[in-house]
Amino acid sequence: MAKGPVKCESDIEGKLYSFSYEKIKSEHLITVNDQQTKLKPSFKSMVLGFDEQFTFDGINARLVVAGNKPDVVVKDIFLQSGKPYLPTPWWAMLFVLPCFVLLITGGFIGGALGALGYMICVYISKRKIPVILKVIINIAIIALCWLIYTVIALFINRYRS
């Protein structure tokens, strides 16, 4: 995580706003023009990455934290990068959970495969491609992770005896 608050300024509809973000324990603090808002992650944010709604000066916004890079979304545009905001759909959790199970129960190799599958499924779910293609790719990712894990486990088990 970044040390100290992350700050930026942005002009929204002709008015300059100063943003400051800091994470302290489980709380995400966003300060806009000296007005602080504390945000706690929802279950979806804990599973798919921090993405929570807040309001400042009558403007609906979202705080999105990817890795250690926070950004504010206003009118479906990231303020710092200027890129369009593509929310993670709710159904992405259906694809992330099998990878999460592998991450938790699969030991070192299964954990690595589960983590990789988890990240790829979230990444694919956020892309601007047809939903059916996202579903097919995510199913293939899950199947591939579990197949590789099973083959490695059988191989290790066979040569262990």
To the nearest 10 degrees (0 to 180), the angle between helices 131-160 and 92-105 is 10
- Considering the chain, what percentage of its residues have pLDDT values greater than 70? 97
Span 117-128, average pLDDT = 89
pLDDT digits (tens, 9 = 90+) for 19-53: 999 988 878 899 999 899 999 888 877 777 788 99
In which band, very low, low, confident or very high, does the pLDDT at 161 lie, cut at 50, 70 and 90?
Answer: low
pLDDT in the model for residue 144:
96
pLDDT classification of 135: cutoffs 50, 70, 90: very high
pLDDT, position 131: 92
Q: Could you give the CA distance from residue 92 to residue 101 in angstroms, rounded to a whole number?
A: 15
Cβ neighbours of 83 (radius 10 Å) = 10
Helix (H) / strand (E) element for 72: namely strand 69-74
Measure Cα distances from 14 to 10, 17, 44, 100, 151 in Å. 10, 10, 34, 44, 59
**Residue 2 predicted with pLDDT over 70:** no
| Under 8 Å between Cβ of 124 and 141 | yes
* Distance, C-alpha 119 to centroid of its chain: 8
